[in-house]
Structure 1
Amino acid sequence: MICLELTIPPLPQLVTIGHAVWPPGIKHLSRVFDVYDMLFVNNGVLYMTEDNKSYEITEGNMLVLEPGKHHIGHQASSEATEIYWVHFVHDAPVRTLDSASIPWSFPYAKGTDLDLAPHRQTMYLPKFADFNGPDLLPVLNRMLELHHRATASGSLLLQAELASLLVKLQEAAQRRYAPRSRKLCDLAIAYLQRHATDPFSADHMEKALHYRFDYIARCLKLYTGKSPLQFKHGLQISEARSLLANADLSVAEVGERVGIDNVNYFIRLFRKETGITPGQYRSSRQGRA
């Protein structure tokens, strides 16, 4: 399934939400505007074209129309069609990609009290997919109610409901369309995160995940570009960077905290991962508010 990759923060911001039952013979209007338009068809069918690509949105389907692209209803529906629409603003997608290639469990850098801005992250939104009515319709209806009331007390909650809707759509893309290799990669990442400070053991990893180690390693390499040991080292050095910046520990103590008892090996590995020594990294962080 194709997904849109959006940079966060900031989160998408709601503009409006609507609901209607269109009688037979109605077509969506033709326009180009600078908002995202999410369409959810609960009953009936909606025919849409976006930049010369046509979609037939039937019962239980959703489509995201992108800002700056021309869309038009290319055919009238022959039956009554119940539709929800959600407009929100956000920057254009970074790219489109298949959900099977998304690195769902790849760890992001952790923010610290020395950071002055949030780290760049991403979210993923299905372009054209099925949706689970019992899961999404209550959220859409709560959004409609809050939108119709339009009070100061409800405005923040309305934006939070949009975030909840986007989370549910992303979870569906992750859960329903990931191949076995993607799922095993995520399991391997979770295992390495749990055992980041333990001695590395291929045998233990095999027994914990119930797959041969060479297959686990291939799946992890496919989606992260790293072997299990390389990925584990990345986790250790990420935690070491946080400790060096925020904890009053010696370099040797930091290495021990992240599971590397040999201080010389820790220094070599830190330099390999970051390009500088632990001492140089700590010095670079000193004096920052």
Structure 2
Amino acid sequence: MPRIMFTVPPFPVFIAAGEGVFKKGEMHARRIFSVFDLIYVKQGTLYITENDQTFSVGGGEYILLSPGLEHFGSRGCEENTSYYWLHFDEKGYEFTQKGGNNWAELLQEKGSFEEPARYRLALPRKGKVQRPLFMEKQFDSLMDYTAENSDLPLRKQILFEELLLHLQKESFQIPSAKERVAWDAARYLQEHYKERVTIKDLSYALHYHQDYVTRCMQQVLGVTPGQYTNKVRMTEAKRLLSSTNDKMGVIAETIGMEDPTYFSKLFKQTEGVSPIEYRKIVSRKIE
């Protein structure tokens, strides 16, 4: 797989992020940017051409478009296709066909007491994301303009760097046993978040002991199965709050939570605002 290589530090610089939807039959516009354009498809398939090379980018996949190269939709989407986009700047880069198989291989120069170690990140131009919830969480934070009076605007560069490192690590394609269990558990919970999934159900589905599954998720993802399920639910709740006029009870039931009061309490704990306040903020942003 062709890769784009960056020498870090310093890291590329985050510029802006957003999201959009191509309706069935629509295609990407013809453009040439002076910066990198990272597109991550959440659902559907995007057909795009860059420099005479055509790509099909499906749900859970990303493509890294390079500055100075024309890109455009090669054909219309066959279904409604939702996606995130992210622009970042980096003048020093090169294209390569090899490298980037492990961290040791990426080490370019060892550090000293006065100079940092330098690495050469080698990101595939197109890749499949193993942890889509992490990607969506990072994008949601990078797009959040409701917290301009907090430290979030200053932390967006850090969140962006975490995203790049995540893509680099996943490109190694050598997950540990614990990572595989954690990702399998996360995938199962994403598919069944509307149901009452107990840790016993999860253990039975994955064929691992309950304690081991929980420990793997905590060590790899930093959350318990229950906390992960709630994150998935809150992500879906935000989508419903911004795209429908459904009442809180309906949204709570849709995401698998029977108690609207507990849903509102958990949403505020997670997002910092109540569901009603979030809907008002989003509606003002759309206007």
TM-score bracket for this pair, using the shorter chain length: 0.5 to 0.7
* Deviation of 1:67 (Å): 0.7
Alignment of 1:194-273 (within 5 A): none
Please name the residue that 2:21 is paired with.
21
The question of whether the paired residues in 2 share the 8 Å contact of 1:7 and 1:94 is answered with: no
Structure 1: how far apart are the matches of 2:2 and 2:174?
13
Question: Closer, same or farther in 2 for the Cα pair 1:3/1:45, shift >3 Å?
Answer: same
Question: Closer, same or farther in 2 for the Cα pair 1:153/1:68, shift >3 Å?
Answer: same
* Deviation of 1:3 (Å): 2.1
Percent of residue pairs identical = 26
Structure 2: how far apart are the matches of 1:103 and 1:61?
21
Alignment of 1:1-289 (within 5 A): 1-99=1-99, 102=101, 104-106=103-105, 107-113=107-113, 115=114, 118=116, 120-132=118-130, 133-145=132-144, 147=145, 149-151=147-149, 153-176=151-174
Question: Closer, same or farther in 2 for the Cα pair 1:82/1:97, shift >3 Å?
Answer: same
Structure 2: how far apart are the matches of 1:34 and 1:148?
28
* Deviation of 1:126 (Å): 1.9
Letter in 2 for 1:138: K
Write the deviation string for residues 94-126 of structure 1: whole angstroms up to 9, x where unpaired: 232235x6463145544334x4x5454311222
Letter in 1 for 2:165: V
Question: Closer, same or farther in 2 for the Cα pair 1:167/1:120, shift >3 Å?
Answer: closer
Letter in 1 for 2:65: L
Letter in 2 for 1:96: T
Of structures 1 and 2, the larger Rg is shown by: 1
* Deviation of 1:151 (Å): 4.4
Q: Give me the CA root mean square deviation.
A: 2.3
The question of whether the paired residues in 2 share the 8 Å contact of 1:67 and 1:92 is answered with: no
* Deviation of 1:156 (Å): 2.1
* Deviation of 1:175 (Å): 2.7
Structure 2: how far apart are the matches of 1:82 and 1:174?
27
The question of whether the paired residues in 1 share the 8 Å contact of 2:2 and 2:95 is answered with: no
Letter in 2 for 1:98: K
Letter in 2 for 1:143: L
* Deviation of 1:81 (Å): 0.5
Question: Closer, same or farther in 2 for the Cα pair 1:72/1:150, shift >3 Å?
Answer: farther
Letter in 2 for 1:165: L
SS at structure 2 position matched to 1:94: strand
Structure 2: how far apart are the matches of 1:164 and 1:58?
23
Structure 1: how far apart are the matches of 2:134 and 2:62?
14
The question of whether the paired residues in 2 share the 8 Å contact of 1:47 and 1:55 is answered with: yes
Question: Closer, same or farther in 2 for the Cα pair 1:24/1:125, shift >3 Å?
Answer: same
Alignment TM-score, normalising by the size of structure 1: 0.54
The question of whether the paired residues in 2 share the 8 Å contact of 1:8 and 1:121 is answered with: yes
* Deviation of 1:56 (Å): 0.9
The question of whether the paired residues in 1 share the 8 Å contact of 2:5 and 2:94 is answered with: yes
Question: Closer, same or farther in 2 for the Cα pair 1:56/1:16, shift >3 Å?
Answer: same
Letter in 2 for 1:136: M
* Deviation of 1:61 (Å): 1.4
Question: Closer, same or farther in 2 for the Cα pair 1:42/1:122, shift >3 Å?
Answer: same
Write the deviation string for residues 153-190 of structure 1: whole angstroms up to 9, x where unpaired: 2222111110110111000011349xxxxxxxxxxxxx
Structure 1 unaligned segments of length 5 or more: list them: 178-289
SS at structure 1 position matched to 2:173: helix
* Deviation of 1:152 (Å): 6.3
Write the deviation string for residues 216-269 of structure 1: whole angstroms up to 9, x where unpaired: xxxxxxxxxxxxxxxxxxxxxxxxxxxxxxxxxxxxxxxxxxxxxxxxxxxxxx
Structure 2: how far apart are the matches of 1:7 and 1:69?
21
Structure 1: how far apart are the matches of 2:117 and 2:133?
34
Structure 2 unaligned segments of length 5 or more: list them: 176-287
* Deviation of 1:65 (Å): 0.2
Structure 1: how far apart are the matches of 2:102 and 2:90?
22
Letter in 1 for 2:58: T
Please name the residue that 1:247 is paired with.
none
